Structure 1
Amino acid sequence: MSDNKRSPLYYEAPTELRRGLAALARGFEPRERAPGRFEWLGGLKLAAASLVTIAAVIVTRSASVPSAEDRVTQEVVASHVRSLMVSSHLTDVPSSERHTVKPWFNGKLDFSPSVADLSAHGFALLGGRLDYLGERPVAALVYQRREHKINLLTWPSSETADAKPKLVSRQGYSVFHWIRAGMNYWAVSDLNAEELRQFSELVLAY
């Protein structure tokens, strides 16, 4: 306002007062508020929940991936089921004579399977066939207990230590796996587990 138009009541505040009022006004300017205690706790809880979720996903994915032994078990059961289908075949060499079955594998495999005669114990030898697990050719020996067929699959093991028969169940079938003298043995049947265990122990002791 020009000096000519100023009111007689107009009074210009001293410089010191103006500076003080300006400083006071700046003190009331909005500032960014620091997070409170409860907000920090909320953030930590959210981070913890995220970590738990990620861990659960990792565990679930790991659990859904079958182990090598689980995959072989499933292949053994699938081989047994295939052999019982009408469109397939149970034996390539049908015979109850171990001296007929054993030499039949010569030239077909890079190993010679042991063929046990367990007829005196109620497990009749029906014959053998060439089968495949994955891309590996294996020997399949077929036995019978009453009306129950037993497939005994064998091939060289990468493990050097012997392992006693271990039972697993898949799709209603009993499966025993053991290792002896560098060879894998897998016995599978719908026979009850106790009798299949007896069969496995007889093969192991043969």
Structure 2
Amino acid sequence: MTCDEAEVLLHALIDGELDAGHTRDVENHVAGCSRCAAALRDYRELSRMVAETGARYTAPVALRQRIEAALPQPKAVPNRRAVLRGFAMGSAVSALAATGLVAIVLRNDDVDRIQSEVVSAHLRSLQAGHLTDVVSTDQHTVKPWFNGKLDVSPPVVDLTAQGFTLIGGRLDYVDARAIGAVVYRRRQHIINLFVAQTANTERRSARIDTVQGFNIRHWSDRGLNYWAVSDLAKDELSDFGEKFESAMRSPR
């Protein structure tokens, strides 16, 4: 384990969020690394001081009201029955509904609403303790964790050598559906890669938009929709997406 990998996991170690294997790996590294051992002592001392002083700040109600008023209001979702009425082949619609794909087909065009939701999910993840359900820099640990939790397990690619460190994954909710979020770090910037199944198996080229100050790179490939969300500059987020897509096309 390298110092960069250990640094990602130190806070999780203090909070008791690591499994036994990763706890052992971090503790073994710290035992032989004076730098990481010092960092771990500092983090523990800081946690102790915060706990003892009871440091807590409650935002005033007026602030919450101003924030809620500034957030974009969700757009109305088209009435599903009205949309389905336009389909001539009812049997085909029924078959799609049985596989859960109708919701994806009907809602896939509502780009603005979906983008607003993935940004909201990204912001939620930045709150303390919300970023990862599974903490690991190993793609072979993160990928199996999703098995059985979602209809389709999101692909997990290790891009550490390319400058984007895998730090874990979690379950999130977008468009009232559970989806996978694979989490990366670029310096001090977090990248959430949201992955959801789509009925369209054709590849859709990437586009980048900016919503509420966050950049979103969205593309589709092999029946999956991807949204990479971060406060990274557009060129760096594009670089991340291109490296991810390139790794997916390479034999593994």
**Structure 1: 5+ residue stretches without partners:** 1-63
Pairing 1:90–2:128 present? no
CA distance in 2 between counterparts of 1:181 and 1:81 reads 28
Pick aligned residue for 2:204 from 163, 174, 197 = 163
CA distance in 2 between counterparts of 1:136 and 1:71 reads 14
Pick aligned residue for 1:99 from 135, 140, 147 = 140
Partner of 2:125, secondary structure, is: helix
Q: Is the 8 A contact 1:138 1:153 kept in 2?
A: yes
Runs of at least 4 residues off by over 4 Å: 64-67
Partner of 2:216, secondary structure, is: strand
Letter in 2 for 1:70: D
Letter in 1 for 2:138: E
Pick aligned residue for 2:174 from 126, 133, 150 = 133
Residue 114 of structure 1 is matched in structure 2 by: 155
Moved more, 113-122 or 66-75: 66-75
Residue 72 of structure 1 is matched in structure 2 by: 114
Letter in 1 for 2:151: D
- Give the drift of 1:158: 2.3
Residue 183 of structure 1 is matched in structure 2 by: 224
Q: Deviations over 1:59-100 (max 9, x none)?
A: xxxxx87960111100010000000013x5100000000000
Letter in 2 for 1:77: V
Q: Is the 8 A contact 1:143 1:151 kept in 2?
A: yes
Give the total of aligned pairs. 142
Letter in 2 for 1:97: D
TM-score if structure 2 supplies the norm length?
A: 0.54
Q: Is the 8 A contact 1:165 1:201 kept in 2?
A: no
Q: Deviations over 1:170-197 (max 9, x none)?
A: 1110000000111000000000000000
CA distance in 2 between counterparts of 1:165 and 1:105 reads 25
Please identify which structure carries the higher helix content. Answer: 2
Residue 198 of structure 1 is matched in structure 2 by: 239
CA distance in 2 between counterparts of 1:134 and 1:175 reads 16
What value does the CA root-mean-square deviation take over the aligned residues? 1.5
Moved more, 153-162 or 118-127: 153-162
CA distance in 1 between counterparts of 2:194 and 2:175 reads 13
Partner of 1:195, secondary structure, is: helix
CA distance in 2 between counterparts of 1:65 and 1:165 reads 26
Pick aligned residue for 2:213 from 158, 161, 172 = 172
Please identify which structure carries the higher strand content. Answer: 1
Alignment identity in percent? 49
CA distance in 2 between counterparts of 1:152 and 1:103 reads 17
**Structure 2: 5+ residue stretches without partners:** 1-74, 78-108, 248-252
- Give the drift of 1:138: 0.4
CA distance in 2 between counterparts of 1:137 and 1:65 reads 20
Q: Deviations over 1:146-177 (max 9, x none)?
A: 00000000011122211111000011100000
Partner of 2:238, secondary structure, is: helix
CA distance in 2 between counterparts of 1:153 and 1:197 reads 15
Pick aligned residue for 2:123 from 75, 78, 81 = 81
- Structure of higher CA gyration radius: 1
Letter in 1 for 2:115: T
TM-score if structure 1 supplies the norm length?
A: 0.66
